[in-house]
Amino acid sequence: MASLKEVRNRIASVKSTQQITSAMKMVAASKLRKAQTGILQLRPFAQKQQQLLQNLSAGADVALPGGLSEKRTTNRILFVVLSSNRGLCGAFNSNVIKQANIESRAIIAANQGAEITMITIGRKASEYFAKSSFNRAESHDDIYDELTYGRAAQLADHLIDLFTKKLYDKIYIVYHQFKNAVVQYLVTEQFLPVEPITSEEESGAQLEYIFDPSRDEILESIVPRILRTQLYKALLDSWASEQGARMTAMSQATDNAQELLKELKLTYNKARQAAITNEILEIVSGAEALKNN
């Protein structure tokens, strides 16, 4: 059995850890409320924008400006992987990295000779793919330091530029889609080329638009804006998911520390009782020895 001093040191250490995890839980909960408000407010707007884009580009004869709907041979694929800058958020980072690896290997298996390139957002993904077999072209780890629509728009314009210059044939975004503090869904979303809805996917109630100015001019103006919003939504989803995952992980860690404290206190009381019993036995034995002398 461990000595009383060792058990006391362990109890003090666990209490200190519990205070840290409890504080981190509260910080994550505070950040989560802000992030959750942002994504829940943006999501309906982004969905309506996406629906509008699909309706405007419906039909095989409609080509988006700049070749943004151009289908090419799948040779050069770009993955934008969204992770976090810090750990202590459970399996959040490992899951998104695993998803990117699975999707990449599936594309390579389906298209022999396909080249996979990574753009990472978040230091955890950047550190991993810097050592992996896949080429990491860029990292934008500082975007979470000040996550704004303006910064997301700059990155979206950069991705659009890479696609229109035909440096990549397809661009995917791998991220966590936020549902609540406990549940986050892994999503691999095709960013470019834009996939118009087909006649089979169109609803029974067809939407007819009167274009002023022309459809091409409207699409040329609206498509980049929609893509910027879609990337911003993905970033907000990932940010909210990270805070939810961290809050859940720190809550579990705090509960585990509490259970460990109970066990340690029980061990301490048993060790203390055994020590007192030994002292009593020594005193009694000494008294008996004096009496016999």
Domain boundaries, the chain: 22-249
Q: Judge whether 96 and 175 are in contact, CB under 8 Å.
A: yes
pLDDT tens across the length of the chain (293 residues): 567 888 889 999 999 999 999 999 999 999 999 999 999 999 999 999 888 877 776 654 566 767 888 888 888 999 999 999 999 999 999 999 999 999 999 999 888 878 999 999 999 999 999 998 899 999 999 999 999 999 999 999 999 999 999 999 999 999 999 999 899 999 999 999 987 665 445 544 456 778 788 878 888 888 899 999 999 999 999 999 999 999 999 999 999 999 999 999 998 888 888 888 888 888 888 877 777 76
CA distance 121 to 127: 11
Instruction: Please give, one letter per residue, the 3-state secondary structure of the chain.
Output: CCCHHHHHHHHHHHHHHHHHHHHHHHHHHHHHHHHHHHHHHHHHHHHHHHHHHHHHCCCCCCCCHHHCCCCCCCCEEEEEEECCCCCCCCCHHHHHHHHHHHHHHHHHHHCCCCEEEEEEECHHHHHHHCCCCCEEEEECHHHHHHCCHHHHHHHHHHHHHHHHCCCCCEEEEEEEEECCCCCEEEEEEEEECCCCCCCCCCCCCCCCCCCCCCHHHHHHHHHHHHHHHHHHHHHHHHHHHHHHHHHHHHHHHHHHHHHHHHHHHHHHHHHHHHHHHHHHHHHHHHHHHHHHC
Q: Which CATH number fits domain 22-249: 3.40.50.2000, 3.40.710.10, 3.30.390.50, 3.40.1380.10?
A: 3.40.1380.10
- The residues assigned a catalytic role are 89
